[in-house]
């Protein structure tokens, strides 16, 4: 009887561990996607600022 309880406890714990691993993996994927989207949004604005400075970079105050 005790062996059956141990077996069912281990199976339940294994199933729980599998669910947690899956949930963590999905969470990590979602967070990476969000980080990529944020980086894609902020990068073009930085490039736009740099392009404005290019016209005045070569001038030294005539």
Residue that wins the pLDDT comparison between 5 and 30: 30
Split at pLDDT 50, 70, 90, the class of 23 is: very high
How much is the pLDDT for 60? Answer: 63
Mean pLDDT calculated for residue range 7-31: 95
**Phi, psi for residue 61 in degrees, rounded to 5:** 85, 70
CA distances from 38 to 19, 43, 44 (A): 29, 9, 11
Nearest to 17 by CA among 9, 27, 7: 9
Global pTM exceeds 0.85:
no
């Amino acid at each position: 009887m005790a062996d059956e309880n141990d077996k069912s406890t281990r199976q339940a714990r294994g199933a729980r561990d599998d669910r947690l691993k899956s949930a963590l993996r999905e969470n990590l994927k979602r967070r990476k996607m969000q980080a990529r989207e944020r980086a894609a949004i902020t990068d073009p604005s930085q490039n736009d600022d740099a392009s404005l400075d290019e016209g005045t970079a070569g001038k030294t105050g005539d």
